[in-house]
Amino acid sequence: MSSHQVIAVENLEDWFRQSIGGALERRQVTAEAHTEQYMVRLATEFARTEALYEYSHAEGYRLKPLAGMLAEAFEAGSPERRQQLLQRLGDVALFISGFFSEYLNHRPVDVDYYSRMGGTAYGTLAEMAPASRREAVLSPVFAELARKFGEFVDVLNEVAQQARVFDERDVLRLYELWLRTGSRRAADKLRELGVQPAAGAHSRFTH
């Protein structure tokens, strides 16, 4: 029997709402209601792994480096596209540093790097002229995420440790292995760790 808790997909958002709210309270970190809800939705979306990885025909599914994401954002041909890419950068940085901090400690770039990049992306978004009504509503959310990025990382880290939803040592490596090889063993292990491999994602070697 696995010691890791597997969360049913249909209950994932409610679980994150309760867990993030509880972690904020225990750590005495304040967050505006819209910011808290943003983190809940972010965690829910990226826990479904197809949203975290990006697909290209040349390389299949992969997690794009933050520096590449930043360069792409500043080379974007429109303010709207630039804002979308900066938001993606901030979101990925917050999720990875919050849920996979131990994994990052064994990588060339660490949690501090992810925090700097994510905080900068959110801060830039908050200062940009909103490209849409939605962006105008999110501007104060981005500002708070930028100011308290490190605190929110700690909150998400507590959520991950509380229920052992993700095994920081193995899950990213396992998912990358599954994408490359289609390994059933890797897929089964991912499910044991509480991560459901993306139904529509196939290894580049799977036909």
Q: What is the pLDDT of residue 2?
A: 39
State the pTM of this model: 0.72
Segment 87-126, tens digit of pLDDT: 999 999 999 989 887 766 666 677 888 899 999 999 999 9
Beta-bridged to residue 61, according to DSSP, are 55
Two structure tokens written together for 87: 């938001």
pLDDT of residue 132 exceeding 60, the answer is yes
Burial of 20 (0-12, 13-18, 19+ CB in 10 A): buried
Q: What is the pLDDT of residue 46?
A: 85
Other CB atoms within 10 Å distance of the CB of residue 91 = 22
- pLDDT band at residue 156, thresholds of 50, 70 and 90? very high
Nearest by Cα to 140 from 31, 44, 21, 18: 31
* 130 DSSP 8-state letter: P
Residue predicted with more confidence, 44 or 5: 44
d(CA 138, CA 193): 33
Over residues 32-57, the mean pLDDT reads 84
Beta-carbon contacts of 124 under 8 Å, excluding residues fewer than 6 positions away, are 86
Q: What is the pLDDT of residue 149?
A: 96
Tell me the C-alpha to C-alpha distance, in Å, between residue 90 and each of 29, 59, 113, 185, 189: 19, 23, 12, 32, 29
As a three-state string, the secondary structure of 65-102 is CHHHHHHHHHCCCCHHHHHHHHHHHHHHHHHHHHHCHH
Burial of 1 (0-12, 13-18, 19+ CB in 10 A): exposed
Segment 52-69, tens digit of pLDDT: 777 666 666 667 788 888
Over residues 2-10, the mean pLDDT reads 45
Residue predicted with more confidence, 151 or 12: 151
Residue predicted with more confidence, 56 or 138: 138
* 34 DSSP 8-state letter: H
